[in-house]
Structure 1
């Protein structure tokens, strides 16, 4: 009764947090979503492909996928390799309006379909410019992204970009981004890293406050990888963060070798331990938790879209089962997950090679082998996504009915 009425008083369509759960329109909000980081660029009228965006969003809706983690453009210059181009900010506080129009388009199309977005504002990694580009623009070394936290000019620039982003008015519907309930949460960065936990907490706290002063209805999360990195617990301990995030990369971290299919079983033991460890932090902090990145390659480490996904499908089932089981049994605070990543109708031009301007955007960022982790619109994996989304929706519906019965 308390949770239901608390959510309703905050208005419809906003995702809120109460009693260690997400709520949307009076019901608990759980999801199996995806990462669709390239959506902003694909929505650009001149450099993108809006027809593809519409079709891919419809594909995702048919799978029950309504939550997308998208990148807020990126930083230039646009002649860098391993970089999203065109960037939304080719030079400091000089913007590419075509990409901003792509952002408007993506949010409006998601809004029309009742979808929700999680938006990382920055990136620790080079593929969207991110920390290193901010540092370089202000006289530092691109190869030293950790300077990002300490350089005053960098922090002023980052806040100026963030303020511009939050105050952007969507040209298609007139809604300010800071007032758009399509956006579930702003995220401070994709996979931020640091060594000084005290400095980390200070930066997180002040940045969250800055965002919430401008966009008080939106949730804010960190976007970190979890306990595989330093200061993971300390970062999520910042009280003003609304929920805990973590990522799981069994193959990248050496637990799984796609050339040795038998290694998957032992990898799943490590994965379960890792999930348990990070969920325990969320439980201790009394916050919801989201596993917002996970994936493995196609069979035999192939980069070909035609290769089988037998092992990947088994892995996805394992992770989805973990999340759905915990939601059903109320056994922890994990409430949702986003797989990495939807490649949709795109296909790699150079299988296993680097992305080049003009190539299809797929799920693999420009700095990674193309075709590595992408889930395409024809993959068998999608039937598993759909099946578990249906199961999760059924469980959530049952939870909502119990809440209504108690309130009457």
Structure 2
């Protein structure tokens, strides 16, 4: 998800009995039985504008659950239990694709989540990585597939600004700092692409994660059908302002292709995507999107749609602003489909979110307008699917499930533990779909409709 600003510029395979182990058990002395390498037909692949699974098109209704790997941790079986409960809830709704955080840099930035997957050294957090192992094992048991993003353009998981600070003597700026107004954060963060030492540190982590062997299943990540795709980053942009973005464009494109080719060399089984918002995150330029996704190393396009963040929706007057939301959403959706057709590649609408009624963050607030927005996105995707178009799937933002804010002001404090779909820089409850929300009925409807197309 992008960083919210008011100016609209921001934001089944069997794994054996070992899958039932807790994280601490998986780390013990008993080595898991080595898993046989699965047939290539078990992996989602690209064929022109289509995503395929075996001889059939792969289409899905999915979600974002950035915090999945954070739930299970050593000595805390309740987190592993919650993970399983949340996956069961999603499976019951027909959700079979989850986009989640596979990275996180220990950061000095305000609102950056801790713990992190890595620090500035070659030390990688094995507790979190074993949490990711268990998440993938449990997803595999349920026939689900993961999209893992490998860093973040934004500050909430460390990201590119943090990599940048690790090689420049510790210099950084915080997003939404009044002393550094928009688009300064995005402009500075995008300097990362042209910093060889920072990119090398990122690539070292990519090599380690893509080359990892799951401690629960004994299967290499590169051989795991529970993974659909690797994603270079969450919402990588060439810059914030047009002038800086154009100046950084060459380095941005080189980073995309070099990073994607590295992943394909390490792992020929899985897809690679950028994690882009689409034109909104690419200087509002079709040429920018085309240039960033024309590489053979990039398998499909992505798009994100954020009506409130982009100033289409007034949270205090959702009824009055709905015509603008619907008009702009239809236009933006069509624009991204046209770009996918131009490139001859599939498209996934992998982030979209809407506030609770009245702009409330309270779990008791109704979600009638959120439900309507979800139905709009799902119906646009279904129409394109039925017409044989490039849209392969949707991932709503985001599943909060049984998570609840720990504080009356809905702010996240590191150590809270009750993770929600909203990242730590956002009000907890803003965009989360909670267990029991009426939105569940819309998700169930859409997933059932997609299944009829398979």
Fold agreement, TM-score > 0.5: yes
Task: Identify the residue that residue 436 of structure 2 maps to in structure 1.
Answer: 378
Shift of 1:80: 5.4
**1:256 and 1:218, CA in 2 relative to 1: closer, same or farther beyond 3 A?**
same
Deviates more, 1:271-280 or 1:92-101: 92-101
Asked whether the equivalents of residues 227 and 233 of structure 1 are also in contact (C-alpha less than 8 Å), the reply is: no
The within-5 A match list for 1:289-304 is 289-304=347-362
Aligned to 2:271: 219
Residue 263 in 1 paired to residue 307 in 2? no
Aligned-pair distance for 1:351?
Answer: 5.0
Q: Is the 8 A contact 2:405 2:411 kept in 1?
A: no
The residue that corresponds to 1:173 in the other structure is 217
Alignment of 1:363 with 2:421, yes or no, is yes
Q: Distance in 2 between matches of 1:373 and 1:87?
A: 23
CA distance in 1, matches of 2:274, 2:409: 31
Q: Quickly say closer, same or farther: Cα 1:172–1:100, change in 2 above 3 A.
A: same
Using the TM superposition, give the Cα deviation of residue 96 of structure 1 relative to its aligned residue in structure 2, in angstroms. 1.8
State how 1:218-237 maps to structure 2 within 5 Å: 218-229=270-281, 230=283, 231-237=288-294
**In structure 2, how many angstroms separate the alpha carbons of the residues matched to 1:44 and 1:31?**
29
The answer (yes or no) to whether the contact 2:156–2:424 under 8 Å persists in 1 is yes
Within the alignment, does 1:31 sit opposite 2:89 as a pair?
no
- Residue in structure 2 matched with residue 13 of structure 1 by the alignment: 42
Distance in 2, matches of 1:110 and 1:251, equals: 31
The aligned counterpart of 2:201 is 157
Q: Provide the alpha-carbon RMSD of the alignment.
A: 1.6
Q: How many aligned residue pairs are there?
A: 386
1:159-189, Cα deviation, whole Å (9 max, x unpaired) = 1110011111111111111221211000000
Match of 1:318 among 367, 373, 376: 376
Aligned partner of 2:148 among 115, 119, 129: 119
How far apart, CA to CA, are the structure 2 residues paired with 1:128 and 1:364?
A: 12
Q: Which moved more, 1:230-239 or 1:379-388?
A: 230-239
Which residue pairs with 1:53 in the alignment?
83
Q: Which residue of 2 aligns with 1:210?
A: 262
State the alpha-carbon separation in 1 of the partners of residues 41 and 88 from structure 2: 23
Q: Distance in 1 between matches of 2:407 and 2:291?
A: 41
Cα deviations across residues 205-258 of structure 1 (Å, max 9, x unaligned)?
111111100001110000011111322232122232000011011110001112
Moved more, 93-102 or 290-299: 93-102
Match of 2:7 in 1: none
Q: CA deviation at 1:352?
A: 5.0
> How many Å separate the matches in 1 of 2:387 and 2:79?
42
Aligned counterparts of 2:265 and 2:324: Cα–Cα separation in 1: 46
Pairwise CA distance, 1:199: 2.1
Asked if the contact 2:347/2:392 (under 8 Å) is kept, the reply is: yes
Partner SS, residue 216 of structure 2: coil
Instruction: Quote the Cα distance in structure 2 between the aligned partners of 1:327 and 1:161.
Output: 36
Q: Point out where structure 1 has 5 or more consecutive residues left out of the alignment.
A: 1-8, 397-408
| Counterpart position of 2:395 | 338
SS in 1 for 2:89: helix
CA contact (8 A) 1:41 1:73 kept: no
* C-alpha contact 2:109 2:158 (8 A) present in aligned 1: no
Residue aligning to 1:66: 96
CA distance in 2 between partners of 1:222 and 1:376 (Å)? 28
Q: Distance between the aligned counterparts of 1:49 and 1:118, measured in 2? A: 21
Q: Would the aligned equivalents of 1:13 and 1:24 in 2 still touch at CA under 8 Å?
A: yes
Give me the TM-score of the superposition, normalised by structure 2: 0.82
Tell me, yes or no, if the aligned pair for 2:290 and 2:343 is still in contact at 8 Å: no
For 1:281 and 1:341, how far apart are their aligned partners in 2?
25
